[in-house]
Amino acid sequence: MSELLLFSPLTIRNVELRNRIVVPPMHQYSAEKGYPTDWHLMNAGKFAAGGAGLVVIESTKVERRGCGTLGDLGIWDDSFVEPLRRLVKFIKQQNSVAGIQLGHSGRKARAKRPWEGDGPLQRTAEIEDWDAWNPVAPSAIAHSEKWPVPRELARHEVKDLVQAWGNAAKRADQAGFDVLELHGAHGYLVHQFLSERSNHRKDEYGGSELNRMRLITEITEAVRTHWPESKPLFVRLSVEDNAGWGPEQSARLAKTLKAKGVDVIDCSSGGITDQAPILGKEIKYSYQVPLSEYVRRNAGIMTMAVGLIIHGDQAEQILRQGQADLIAVGREILNNPNWPMDAALKLGIDGPFRSVPPQFGYWLGTRAKRGFGTRPSTWQNGLKDTGNVL
Ligand SMILES: Cc1cc2nc3c(=O)[nH]c(=O)nc-3n(C[C@H](O)[C@H](O)[C@H](O)COP(=O)(O)O)c2cc1C
């Protein structure tokens, strides 16, 4: 269809993505007791219809205790499979690939929604299982002063958790997802094990770097026993957390995970402290792209770049420079769910409206043919017209 890398297909294992554009996991805080609602269908559906190659459903928790907020999605029981299948079916109908991120919040569980003030929740009668939702972590160390001290997981509980991730992968497969991402970033449970700051354990899950990597390595092994060989597996890491874990550690971990069947490292940053690098505090285009480039070059694994990638020409440049294999567009796709179609138009692709459903693609195509509408309301080149420097 095009010589542009952004719009060239990519096959990972047996799954073909029609382009390199990914909608990264983005919490909707809208589930009911862990079950998806119509909101999730509408949300994932509009991104798939907008032309993204892969839509990854938000961090979906492998156990109840791992829920970050009241509105988290869950996958800790077989009853979640059917409602999740509904999302998958719709995404696939739009010729997009359906992915899901598995997660566990650890010591950052039981928190307020960001727009309700962030930080820990206060106990209310509405939360029936308050005590069962007690935050757990590798060690009894609070995230920061305002957070509660979590309970240290017993060794046998860590083993059970590994199985919980494996069982969640099995359910994700049953629901029809074709890409699975493990959340190892942003200061949540897996990252808490990786970080010397939050992990002071004396058993085989703490101490040396190898020991701190053990949880995610065992999770990957458990997941791979349930997740088909034919389907890609991604892991999201905070490649730099500015608290002792950086690109070198991440590249070493990426090599280990690759040997265990991981195909792509999704390169994010921050979250183990409240300091930058952290979402909302960074204001530079492509701020995490150097992390993706480092892991890609040093671990010999495919990577996904994410973080303030706003424009089509910006995304294309990242791919051309070999800094990533996939481009995730997060908040900008909230701004414009038709971002892939829009980028195709701006980058000059032949037939930019063909990759979206005819319900709107047909009409936009006919409007453009009449010589009108080639400058939609979102028209603006990124690099060339705004004077912004990468
Ligand atoms: C509303 C919202 C929810 C998010 N939820 C998740 C999540 O569930 N899992 C995750 O790994 N990252 C999550 N993120 C981070 C995004 O996936 C992405 O990495 C981040 O927004 C930076 O990319 P951007 O600058 O393109 O938005 C979330 C971000 C936003 C804005």
Which residue owns the Cα nearest ligand 1 atom 28? 26
Cα-to-centroid distance, 349 and ligand 1 (Å):
28
Establish whether residue 58 lines the binding site of ligand 1, counting it when its CB lies within 6 angstroms of any ligand atom.
yes
Q: Which domain covers residue 37, as residue numbers?
A: 5-386
Provide the token pair at 155: 């060794």
Of 36-40, 102-106, 353-357, minimum mean pLDDT range: 353-357
**What is the distance between the alpha carbons of residues 138 and 19, in angstroms, rounded to a whole number?**
39
State the total domains in the chain. 1
Point out the ligand 1 atom lying closest to the alpha carbon of residue 333.
26
Give the tens place of pLDDT for each residue, 242-259.
999 999 999 999 999 999
Q: Look at the chain and count its residues.
A: 390
> Residue 276 to residues 24, 238, 268, 269, 301: CA-CA distances in angstroms?
20, 12, 12, 9, 26
* pLDDT (average), residues 188-212: 98
Q: What is the pLDDT of residue 376?
A: 83
> 357 pLDDT band (50/70/90 cuts)?
very high
**Predicted pLDDT of residue 372:** 67
Taking CA atoms only, the protein residue closest to ligand 1 atom 13 is: 26
Rounded mean pLDDT, 320-338: 98
For residues 278 and 57, which has the higher predicted lDDT (pLDDT)? 57
User: Active-site residue 188, yes or no?
Assistant: yes
CATH number of the domain residue 373 falls in: 3.20.20.70
CA of 259 to the centre of ligand 1 (A): 27
Q: Residue 5 carries which DSSP code?
A: G
pLDDT > 70 fraction of the chain, expressed in percent and rounded: 96
The per-type count for the chain, helices as H runs and strands as E runs, is 13, 13
| Per-residue pLDDT tens over the stretch 23-60 | 999 999 999 999 999 999 999 999 999 999 999 999 99
The model's confidence at residue 88, banded by pLDDT at 50, 70 and 90, is very high
The CB of 24 under 6 Å from ligand 1? The reply is yes
pTM (global) more than 0.75: yes
Q: Is 308 in the pocket of ligand 1 (CB under 6 A)?
A: yes
pLDDT greater than 90 at residue 389: no
- Using 50, 70 and 90 to split pLDDT, how confident is the model at 1? very low
Separation between Cα atoms, residue 99 and residue 135, nearest integer Å: 27
Distance 147 CA to ligand 1 centre (A): 21
What are the tens digits of pLDDT across the range 136-190?
999 999 999 999 999 999 999 999 999 999 999 999 999 999 999 999 999 999 9
Q: Do residues 170 and 163 lie in contact, with contact meaning Cβ atoms separated by under 8 Å?
A: no
Of the candidates 179, 272, 182, 267, which has an alpha carbon nearest to the alpha carbon of residue 221? 182
The sign of the torsion formed by the CA atoms of 62, 212, 237, 281 equals positive
Give, for ligand 1, the residue of 22, 26, 59 to mutate: max count of ligand atoms closer than 8 Å to Cβ: 26
In the reported structure, the alpha carbon of residue 42 is separated from the centroid of ligand 1 by a whole-number distance in angstroms of 18
